[in-house]
RNA sequence: GGGCCCGUAGCUCAGCACGGUAGAGCGCCCGGCUCUUAACCGGGUGGUCGCGGGUUCAAAUCCCGCCGGGCCCGCCA
C-alpha cells in the first residue's frame, strides 16, 4: 500500500526515537503569505501523527521577532525605512493597533494558525533572549567563537575576522541590531561597535558594551538556529529550501550544534516554496496571497489540502483563478473519504482519503457534509445576489444536491460557500466565468430560424407590455411557441442564444427577472433582426 | 560556483521511493434534454511520457549525460 509522504516521514523519525520536539519558525517581516503557513502546518501534522502512533511529541512555532527589519514591504509607509536594522520588537506597529511591528504581524500569523486548527506552542525569539532560554548557549558560542568561525569557513566559505563574535547586541545609541559588530567580551559583557554597512542600513558609529543577560541582542542566524535546537531539544524541523542548499544554513547549523553545543541536529523536512501563478511570491512585486485572503474565498481545510496533497519537496503553484477546481478536488476527496466515490487505482483512493483526513480541523464529521460545488455557487451568486436559505435549499433539491435533510452545520457551510463564491467572483474570477449578456446579439439572427426570430420578437413585446409573475410569464412563453408552431425547446434555445450566446442557461424567467425585462426585450429584438444593435 | 524542483493529452496535473496494457479534470466534437433547461446528462476525441544513451525479458518509472523552465544558496535572516 502506498503511503502518504507524511506517514513515510513519521515512519522514519520513529525509527530514531519515540519522543520528539518539532520546531517551526517564521520571520515577522510583514504579513505572511500562504506559503509561510506550510512550516507550522507540517510541524503540527508531524507531531500529531507521532502522538497518534503512541509516541510523544510537541510542535512549536517560533516568531523570529528579534531579527532586524531589512526592507519595508509596500503597503507600509516609506517612513518606516528609518527603522531598518532595528529588531521587529522595537519597531512601532505600522497599523497602530498593537504595541509593536512584531506583535502586529505575530497576531496575524497566530490568527491563521488558529483558523487552520493547528495545536502548536507559540514562542517568541525576543522573549527567549530576555528570559534566559538562550543564555547558556550564547555563553558557549562566544567562548568558542573561533570554532564557529572555522565551521563557517569550512562549510560556507565565509571568512570572518579573527576577533569576530557570533553575537549582535542592539546598539544603545541607534537601536539597530543588524549593524553591530561584537569583537570582544569580558564575562557576560560584550564589547561592540555599531559601524557595519549591511546594505539596507548603516551603523551609527557608536561603541559600547552590552550584558548578554539583558537579552538586548541576538546570535547570528546560523548560530541562533543551532542554539534553538539545543535550548529546546528540537528533534525535527521543517524548513524551506533556502536553508537546505549545500553550504547553506542547515549544513552550517548542523555542525555548530554538534561540534559546539554537543547536541544532535534535528531531522530535516525541507520543502519547496509555494508559487503564485507560476512565479515566486514577492511582496515588492505585489503578487502575494495571504491566508486571510484565502479564508475570504475558501475554507481553511482547502488550504491544508493544497499543502498536504503533494510532497513538500515538490513546488506548489497556486492560481486564484483555479480555486474552484482546487475546491472541487477537495470535495471529491471528501466523497471518496465517505465512500461515495472510488478511484480506479486503490493507492490513489487511499491517498485521497488521507489527504482529506489531514486537511480536517479536529475530527471529520460523522456524516458527509452536503456539497454545493464551487462552480455552481459561482453561477448562483451571479444570478441571485441575495439568495436566502429557503431559495438555496429549493435549488439544491431541484438539482439533486440535497440527498438528506441539512443540519445547521450544513446550512452554515452552504451559506459560507455562497459568500466565498461571491467574493471570488468579485475579486478574482476570469471573464469567462462571469455571466454576462452578449454585447451585441445581432449575429444570433443568422443562427436561428425565421420562426425562432418571430418568437423572440413576440416575447419582447410581451416583456415590454408589463411586469409579469414568473409562472405567468413562463406559461406565456409556452403558449407563444405553440401558437407559432414552434417547439418550446426551440424558443428557449433562441432565447439563451440571444442573451448569453449559448444554447442553454439558467431557468429563463428567473434569469429575466435578474437581468431586467427591458434589457432582455432589446436583446430579443436585436437577435430577431427587429431592433438596432445599439444596446 | 553550488543545491533543489519541474518537463506526461490543446490546458492543469496524477502516476515514478518498489519497472509489468499511459490516467483524471478541464477543453474540444457528437448526441440527448422543455408546462422546463439554474450553462445539465450521455458518449467520443485525444500522447515520440523533454532529448540521447545505459541496465533489463520489460523503462514514464532505475542509472548516466544533455536541453528547456522555475526557485534557492554563495549578503542578512
- Indicate which CATH number applies to the domain containing A56: 3.40.50.620
In a domain, A239, yes or no: yes
Residues A130 and A266 in one domain: yes
**In this structure, is the dihedral angle defined by the CA atoms of residues A406, A411, A413 and A416, taken in order, positive or negative?**
positive
Residues A242 and A302 in one domain: no
CA of A470 to C1' of B53 (A): 72
Nearest to A116 by CA among A337, A303, A308: A303
Q: Which three cell numbers stand for residue A245?
A: 542548499
CA of A317 to C1' of B50 (A): 21
| The last residue of a domain, from among A317, A333, A359 | A359
How big is chain A by its Cα radius of gyration, in Å? 31
Residues A50 and A118 in one domain: yes
Residues A504 and A472 in one domain: yes
Distance separating alpha carbons of residues A156 and A240, to the nearest angstrom: 18
CA of A13 to C1' of B19 (A): 29
Residues A106 and A243 in one domain: yes
The reply to whether A23 has its C-beta less than 7 Å from any atom of strand B is no
Task: Output the pLDDT for position A284.
Answer: 63
Task: Output the pLDDT for position A135.
Answer: 94
Q: What residues form DSSP beta bridges with A168?
A: A218
Task: Output the pLDDT for position A44.
Answer: 93
Residues A184 and A102 in one domain: no
In a domain, A150, yes or no: no
In a domain, A476, yes or no: yes
Distance separating alpha carbons of residues A480 and A475, to the nearest angstrom: 8
A52 contacts: CB under 8 Å, gap ≥ 6:
none
CA of A381 to C1' of B37 (A): 18
Nearest to A392 by CA among A421, A353, A422, A418: A418
Task: Output the pLDDT for position A88.
Answer: 94
- The domain in which residue A339 lies consists of 291-359
Residues A403 and A351 in one domain: no
Q: Is A131 left (phi over 0), alpha (psi -120 to 50) or beta?
A: alpha
Distance separating alpha carbons of residues A459 and A450, to the nearest angstrom: 14
Distance separating alpha carbons of residues A401 and A407, to the nearest angstrom: 14
> Which nt is closest to the CA of A245, judged by C1'?
B3
Residues A17 and A111 in one domain: yes
CA of A163 to C1' of B1 (A): 28
> Which nt is closest to the CA of A223, judged by C1'?
B77
Residues A212 and A253 in one domain: no
Element containing residue A458 per DSSP (H, E): helix A450-465
Q: Specify the number of domains making up chain A.
A: 5
The reply to whether A2 has its C-beta less than 7 Å from any atom of strand B is yes
The reply to whether A379 has its C-beta less than 7 Å from any atom of strand B is yes
The reply to whether A472 has its C-beta less than 7 Å from any atom of strand B is no
| For the segment 36-55 of chain A, residues whose CB is within 7 A of strand B | none
Residues A243 and A200 in one domain: no
Reported in sequence order, the residue ranges of A220-374 that DSSP labels E, i.e. its strands, are: 236-240, 267-271, 274-276, 279-280, 316-318
The reply to whether A321 has its C-beta less than 7 Å from any atom of strand B is no
**In this structure, is the dihedral angle defined by the CA atoms of residues A433, A410, A113 and A41, taken in order, positive or negative?**
negative
Q: What residues form DSSP beta bridges with A189?
A: A186, A211
CA of A238 to C1' of B36 (A): 56
Residues A380 and A461 in one domain: no
The reply to whether A8 has its C-beta less than 7 Å from any atom of strand B is yes
In a domain, A23, yes or no: yes
CA of A46 to C1' of B17 (A): 20
In a domain, A281, yes or no: no
The reply to whether A314 has its C-beta less than 7 Å from any atom of strand B is yes
CA of A273 to C1' of B31 (A): 46
CA of A305 to C1' of B32 (A): 37
Phi, psi of A240 (to 5 degrees): -70, 160
| For the segment 98-117 of chain A, residues whose CB is within 7 A of strand B | none
Distance separating alpha carbons of residues A527 and A535, to the nearest angstrom: 11
CA of A485 to C1' of B4 (A): 69
pLDDT in single tens digits along all 535 residues of chain A:
457 888 888 888 888 889 999 999 998 988 888 888 999 999 999 999 999 999 999 999 999 999 999 888 888 888 899 999 999 999 999 999 999 999 999 999 999 999 999 999 999 999 999 999 999 999 999 999 999 998 988 888 888 888 999 999 999 999 999 899 999 999 999 999 999 888 888 889 999 999 999 999 999 999 999 999 999 999 999 988 888 887 888 888 999 999 999 999 999 888 888 888 777 777 666 678 889 999 999 999 999 988 888 888 888 888 888 888 888 888 888 888 888 777 766 777 778 888 888 889 988 888 888 888 888 888 888 877 777 787 788 777 766 677 788 888 888 888 898 899 889 888 888 777 777 777 777 777 777 778 888 888 888 888 888 777 767 788 888 888 878 877 777 888 888 888 877 777 777 877 787 777 888 888 888 888 876 655 5
In a domain, A153, yes or no: no
The reply to whether A242 has its C-beta less than 7 Å from any atom of strand B is yes
Predicted ipTM > 0.95: no
Q: What residues form DSSP beta bridges with A219?
A: A167
**In this structure, is the dihedral angle defined by the CA atoms of residues A67, A71, A73 and A75, taken in order, positive or negative?**
positive
> Which nt is closest to the CA of A220, judged by C1'?
B77
Residues A338 and A393 in one domain: no
The reply to whether A504 has its C-beta less than 7 Å from any atom of strand B is yes
Q: What is the pTM of this model?
A: 0.88
Task: Output the pLDDT for position A1.
Answer: 44
Whether residue A64 contacts residue A239, with contact meaning beta carbons closer than 8 Å, is answered with no
Distance separating alpha carbons of residues A112 and A269, to the nearest angstrom: 22
Phi, psi of A24 (to 5 degrees): -140, 160
Nearest to A266 by CA among A73, A23, A431: A23
Task: Output the pLDDT for position A98.
Answer: 93
A514 contacts: CB under 8 Å, gap ≥ 6:
A383, A384
CA of A69 to C1' of B62 (A): 47
Bases along strand B below 7 A from a protein CB: 1-6, 12-17, 23, 25, 32-40, 70-77
Amino acid at each position: 500500500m502506498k503511503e502518504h509522504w507524511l506517514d513515510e516521514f513519521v515512519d522514519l523519525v520513529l525509527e530514531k526515537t519515540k519522543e520528539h520536539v518539532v520546531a517551526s519558525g517564521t520571520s515577522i517581516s510583514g504579513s505572511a503569505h500562504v506559503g509561510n503557513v506550510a512550516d507550522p502546518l507540517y510541524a503540527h501534522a508531524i507531531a500529531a501523527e507521532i502522538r497518534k502512533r503512541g509516541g510523544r511529541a510537541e510542535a512549536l512555532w517560533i516568531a523570529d521577532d528579534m531579527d532586524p527589519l531589512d526592507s519595508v514591504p509596500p503597503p507600509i509607509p516609506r517612513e518606516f525605512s528609518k527603522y531598518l536594522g532595528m529588531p521587529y520588537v522595537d519597531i512601532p506597529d505600522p497599523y497602530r493597533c498593537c504595541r509593536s511591528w512584531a506583535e502586529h504581524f505575530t497576531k496575524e500569523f497566530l490568527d491563521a494558525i488558529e483558523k487552520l486548527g493547528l495545536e502548536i506552542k507559540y514562542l517568541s525569539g525576543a522573549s527567549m533572549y530576555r528570559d534566559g532560554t538562550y543564555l547558556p548557549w550564547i555563553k558557549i558560542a562566544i567562548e568558542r567563537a573561533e570554532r564557529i568561525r572555522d565551521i563557517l569557513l569550512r562549510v560556507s566559505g565565509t571568512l570572518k575576522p579573527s576577533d569576530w563574535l557570533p553575537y549582535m547586541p542592539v546598539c544603545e545609541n541607534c537601536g539597530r541590531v543588524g549593524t553591530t559588530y561584537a569583537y570582544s567580551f569580558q564575562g557576560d559583557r560584550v564589547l561592540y561597535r555599531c559601524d557595519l554597512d549591511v546594505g539596507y542600513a548603516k551603523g551609527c558609529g557608536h561603541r559600547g558594551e552590552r550584558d548578554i543577560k539583558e537579552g538586548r541582542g541576538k546570535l547570528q542566524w546560523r548560530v541562533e538556529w543551532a542554539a534553538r535546537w539545543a535550548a529546546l531539544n528540537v528533534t525535527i524541523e521543517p524548513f524551506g529550501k533556502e536553508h537546505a542548499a549545500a553550504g547553506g544554513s542547515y549544513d552550517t547549523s548542523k555542525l555548530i550544534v554538534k561540534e559546539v553545543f554537543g547536541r544532535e541536529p534535528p531531522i530535516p523536512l525541507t520543502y519547496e516554496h509555494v508559487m503564485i501563478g507560476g512565479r515566486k511570491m514577492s511582496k515588492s512585486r505585489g503578487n502575494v496571497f495571504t491566508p486571510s485572503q484565502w479564508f475570504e474565498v475558501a475554507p481553511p481545510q482547502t488550504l491544508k489540502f493544497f499543502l498536504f496533497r503533494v510532497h513538500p519537496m515538490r513546488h506548489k503553484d497556486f492560481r486564484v483563478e483555479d480555486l474552484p477546481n482546487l475546491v472541487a478536488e477537495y470535495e471529491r476527496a471528501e466523497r471518496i473519504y465517505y465512500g461515495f466515490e472510488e478511484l480506479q487505482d486503490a493507492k490513489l483512493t487511499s491517498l485521497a482519503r488521507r489527504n482529506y483526513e489531514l486537511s480536517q480541523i479536529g475530527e471529520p464529521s460523522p456524516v458527509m457534509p452536503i456539497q454545493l460545488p464551487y462552480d455552481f455557487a459561482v453561477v448562483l451568486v451571479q444570478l441571485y445576489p441575495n439568495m436566502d436559505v429557503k431559495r438555496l435549499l429549493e435549488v439544491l433539491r431541484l438539482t439533486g444536491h440535497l440527498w438528506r435533510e441539512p443540519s445547521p452545520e450544513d446550512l452554515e457551510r452552504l451559506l459560507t460557500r455562497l459568500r466565498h463564491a461571491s467574493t471570488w467572483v468579485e475579486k478574482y474570477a476570469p471573464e469567462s466565468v462571469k455571466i454576462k449578456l452578449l454585447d451585441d446579439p445581432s449575429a444570433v439572427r443568422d443562427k436561428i430560424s425565421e420562426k425562432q426570430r418571430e418568437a423572440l420578437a413576440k416575447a419582447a413585446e410581451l416583456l415590454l407590455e408589463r411586469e409579469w409573475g414568473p409562472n405567468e410569464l413562463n406559461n406565456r412563453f409556452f403558449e407563444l411557441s405553440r401558437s407559432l408552431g414552434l417547439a418550446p425547446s426551440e424558443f428557449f434555445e433562441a432565447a439563451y442564444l440571444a442573451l448569453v450566446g449559448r444554447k442553454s442557461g439558467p431557468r429563463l424567467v428567473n434569469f429575466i427577472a435578474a437581468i431586467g425585462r427591458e434589457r432582455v426585450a432589446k436583446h430579443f429584438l436585436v437577435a430577431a433582426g427587429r431592433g438596432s444593435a445599439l444596446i
